[in-house]
Amino acid sequence: MTEEAKLRSRAERAEIDAKAAGPVMQFFISALFWLLAGSALALIASLKLHSPTFLAEQDWLTFGRVRPAHLNTMVYGWATMAGIGVALWMMSRLCRAPLRGVGWLHVSALLLNIGNAWGTYGVLTGGSTSFEWLEYPRAAGLFLSAAFVPLIIVFADMARRRQAGHIYVSQWYLMAAIFWFPWLYLTAQALMLWQPVAAPAQAPMNWWYAHNALGLWFTPICLATAYYLIPKILGKPIHSYYLSVIGFWSLAFFYAWNGMHHLIGGPYPAWLISVSIVASLMMLIPVVTVAVNHHFTMRGSFGALRTSPTLRFVVFAAMSYTIVSVQGSLTAIRAVSRVTHFTHYTVAHAHMGMYAFVTMMLFGAMYYMMPRLIGKEWPSRWLIRIHFWGCALGVLHYWIILSIGGIKQGLWMLDPSVPFLDIVQRMLPYLEQRSWAGVAMTTGHIAFAISFIWLLMSKSNQDTGPTLLGKTNNQKSIV
């Protein structure tokens, strides 16, 4: 590239980032708020499992309300809003089309915030639907649904205005996510809350929805992020275009059929369950192709993990994706599920997916994006370190301890000579450790929040160069 072309390309990126800054920051600030609220709810719920009389007097703080409030604020407040912010900016960059419809995006963020606030209030005051991942009462769902109308239009507009040429794999993932999720959400809202179908049909729909909310909404956004940021930070192209094509289409086809593995051993005909077990095992194809593709892109550059905060989070998340997906495929096998179903093993697995993969990926993207959006560098490398290690060690501890505990719980439940209440008692040490893991993750979140607010408040410091975690010979290129 000539010097002139470089300058032009830099000016173009600056214009795209400037246009995206307003709405994306609104999504990020909202997401941060919901992350902290969700963490507080998580800690309360976790403490209650080993100290059941803690905050037990009021109905709105009972375990069965705090737990769904935690899950929904994290899913629709934190991950959805942060994910939309990341997706908007990435799509705009990849299409080389500055955002239009900024006002409507502000409305969308506002609707999501109202929906989340209303929904959380509703769940805590006794309006929970008890459909997992869909506990927000009906009215909250209307706000969340409406928020997607401007989003679909803005994404379609960017796709239409994209500069001619190759469509990068991240764009496929993003367009697919923004098309799939509203369809998923509206189907579940309409057929479970507005005009409920017969009860036996609700459970398959519930798990079709909940599994695909992870698989066809958060996963595509986060894989798009990994496909975009890893080559970008390392300054080299993705290893194989063909692997990325296979990875995308096998994910699209197989993931959508996965959900019924949550009903193994349940009151359903064998074919319904078996089709999901097969699809879950087939998920090894997209997972292995993505893992191979990212690994070979990273090969020779792992040293950059020492310095780049973004890369550290993104690579941790990408590795977690491989682990959690392989784990998911294996858990879908009947012999494994016989032990692990109905236990804390599943809870550990869910956090590996929604946290170690999705949440860590979104953190990584925010570290990369915010200095570009607001023209300031992260104020403290120590806060970034506390954030990373608190979250990384916290979630690994969570996953390991509850996986081991869950397997034991499952084996004890299969053994009728162990009385049920003994199992409850034997699980207590694992549940206590889970709370400690939650404390570590929450510490990370607080460090991130301080960092975030400090960055917003600080004066411009662009000329000091990017905030890195260690010394590098090539400081400018790695952030």
Residue 135 identity: E
Q: Which is nearer to other proteins, 27 or 155 (CB)?
A: 155
**Spatial separation of the C-alpha atoms in residues 452 and 470, rounded to whole Å:** 20
Residue 128 is a binding residue for other proteins (CB under 8 A): yes
Q: Which of residues 302-321 bind other proteins (CB under 8 A)?
A: none
- d(C-alpha 332, C-alpha 281), whole Å: 7
The tokens 């023209």 sit on which residue? 375
Residue that has been written with the tokens 């008890």 in this structure: 130
Positions 407 through 426 that interact with other proteins (CB under 8 A): 413-416, 420-422, 424-425
Residues 431-470 that bind other proteins (CB under 8 A): 431
Write the single-letter amino acid at 260.
M
Nearer to other proteins, 165 or 237 (CB): 165
Going by C-alpha positions, the residue among 75, 64, 84 that lies closest to residue 38 is 75
Q: Which of residues 245-274 bind other proteins (CB under 8 A)?
A: 245, 249, 252-253, 256-257, 259-260, 262-263, 265-269, 272
Residues 208, 217, 430, 452: which binds other proteins (CB under 8 A)? 208
DSSP 104: H
Identify residues 338-357 at the interface with other proteins (CB under 8 A). Answer: 338, 341-344, 346-347
- Please answer whether residues 435 and 410 qualify as being in contact, where contact means their C-beta atoms are separated by less than 8 angstroms: no
- Backbone CA torsion sign across 261, 264, 266, 267: positive
The stretch near other proteins (CB under 8 A) out of 113-121, 208-216, 366-374, 469-477 is: 208-216
Query: Of 15 and 59, which has the nearer Cβ to other proteins?
Result: 59
Q: Which positions ≥6 away from 33 have C-beta within 8 Å?
A: 77
The nearer residue to other proteins, 113 or 331, going by C-beta atoms, is: 331
Distance, in Å, from the CA atom of 251 to the CA atom of 350, rounded to the nearest integer, reads 18
Count of residues that interact with other proteins, criterion CB under 8 A = 87
Interface residue with other proteins among 38, 77, 204, 231 (CB under 8 A) is 204
Distance CA 399, CA 346 (A): 10
Q: Which is nearer to other proteins, 166 or 459 (CB)?
A: 166
Measured from the CB atom, the residue of 339 and 386 that comes closer to other proteins is: 339
Q: How far apart are CA 299 and CA 296, in angstroms?
A: 5
Binders of other proteins in range 353-392 (CB under 8 A): none
CB atoms within 10 A of CB 274: 14
Q: Are 383 and 447 in contact (CB under 8 A)?
A: yes
Closer CB to other proteins, residue 203 or residue 384?
Answer: 203
CB of 35 to other proteins, least distance (A): 22
Taking each helix axis from N to C terminus, what angle separates 309-331 and 360-374, rounded to the nearest 10 degrees?
A: 150
Q: Which of 80, 139, 133, 132 is nearest to 115 (CA)?
A: 139
Per CB under 8 A, the segment of 120-128, 312-320, 376-384, 440-448 that binds other proteins is 120-128
Q: From the list 91, 97, 144, 216, which residue makes contact with other proteins (rule: CB under 8 A)?
A: 216
CB of 65 to other proteins, least distance (A): 6
Under rule CB under 8 A, which residues in 48-87 are in contact with other proteins? 48-50, 52-53, 56-59, 62-65, 67-68
